[in-house]
Amino acid sequence: MTEKIALFPGSFDPFTLGHLNTVTRAAKMFDKVIVAIVTNTSKRPLFTAKEKKRLVAASIAHLDNVEVILHEEGLTVHIAEKLGAEVLIRGIRNITDYEYEKNIAHMNARLAPNIETLFLLADPAYANISSSVIKEIAKFEGDVSPFVPQSVNEALEKKYRDRHIGC
């Protein structure tokens, strides 16, 4: 019997409770879920890839069948094939996410027809959370603790505190 592996790719800058909810739900559906920290060339990251990997690993430590990797170059479908993942997991918060993800899913299907994309609708409690909004709130010393894992909250506080000190 072959292991069912899913890949959940994202920039996770930062990793939110919405991301954690998606991973937790996927972990119930698959034998193994791999969270891949990927580079989004259209974004300027707050955290380094290694910092993101450490924060995601701390957030998913309680999930036995989930691991985190760095994938800084190349197509997501190629790493999925290399890892034996048959499914890409994508979280959908709203219609804008759907339109964006749908187009990527169609292109991925052309590049790697053996890999499916599975959309998981965001839990309503997390539907308004985005990494961009979290960074904006944290930058101006707002409380993001209800929206991110504790380790991420602490890292955000430190990152912005250190930036203010350096000014």
C-alpha span between 126 and 130 (Å, rounded): 9
Local structure of residue 75 (DSSP, 8 states):
-
**Active-site residue, from 19, 53, 71, 90:** 19
Strand partners for 6: 33, 87
Q: Which of 39, 35, 33, 46 is nearest to 5 (CA)?
A: 33
**Active-site residue, from 53, 90, 131, 135:** 131
What string of DSSP letters covers 126-143? GTT--HHHHHHHHHTT--
Beta strands 116-121 and 32-38: pairing type? unpaired
**Could you confirm whether 19 is annotated as catalytic?**
yes
Q: Are the CB atoms for 105 and 99 separated by under 8 Å? A: no
- Distances in whole angstroms, Cα of residue 42 to Cα of each of 16, 38, 103, 159: 20, 12, 16, 21
**Could you confirm whether 131 is annotated as catalytic?**
yes
**Could you confirm whether 93 is annotated as catalytic?**
yes
**Active-site residue, from 4, 25, 78, 93:** 93
**Active-site residue, from 43, 50, 62, 158:** 43
Catalytic residues: 19, 43, 93, 131
